[in-house]
Amino acid sequence: MRRLFLVVTILSMLMLAACGGSATPTPTPPPTPTTAPTAQQVIAATLDVIMHDIYFGDDSNNIANPPVWRAPAGAEVTVNLDNQGGLEHNWAVVKKGVELPVPFMPDQNKDLLYWEAGVLQAGQKDSETFTAPSEPGEYIVICTVAGHYPAMQGRLIVE
């Protein structure tokens, strides 16, 4: 009887040991990032603006196909300006919902602008910083040099 008990106990232990593993491995959680982005990294944006005579970007028909830039609402935005044209240019964000007069007269219509970069001479590059509007939406971007708008325009999408 003792022998039978001993054999049953040993067999039971072997069966339990064999059943203890699993054929399917337990998934491991994905690694967590070692450093979280800072608040400044989250709310910052850099926009590259190429200016030609007289259009922004790669398409010379800014009226039908305006270039689009994006920035988070309230973000600190660095605008890298590159005037590749032969004329002076700038880059200005129009206040939301404003209807622009044609022609745009820079001296008489400055109050319609949310922000504008300084004028760049032909071949000049510059970087300027501003705070994006806090209200999300689409903002018209223009060159305020007399006679350049409406041919030279784009859109800033604030998200």
Q: Has residue 154 been placed in a domain?
A: yes
Q: Assign residue 68 the CATH number of its domain.
A: 2.60.40.420
Q: Has residue 33 been placed in a domain?
A: no
Per-residue pLDDT of 10-25, as tens digits, reads 445 444 444 444 444 4
Per-residue pLDDT of 73-127, as tens digits, reads 999 999 999 999 999 999 999 999 999 999 999 999 999 999 999 999 999 999 9
Domain total in the chain = 1
pLDDT at 8: 44
Q: Has residue 51 been placed in a domain?
A: yes
**Domain that includes residue 139, residue range:** 40-158
Q: Of 61, 47, 123, which Cα lies nearest the Cα of 92?
A: 47
Q: Has residue 77 been placed in a domain?
A: yes
pLDDT at 69: 98
Q: Has residue 18 been placed in a domain?
A: no
**Is the pLDDT at 45 greater than 70, yes or no?**
yes
Write down the pTM of the prediction: 0.73
Contacts of 118 (CB under 8 A, 6+ apart): 90, 126, 128
Q: Has residue 28 been placed in a domain?
A: no
Q: Has residue 85 been placed in a domain?
A: yes
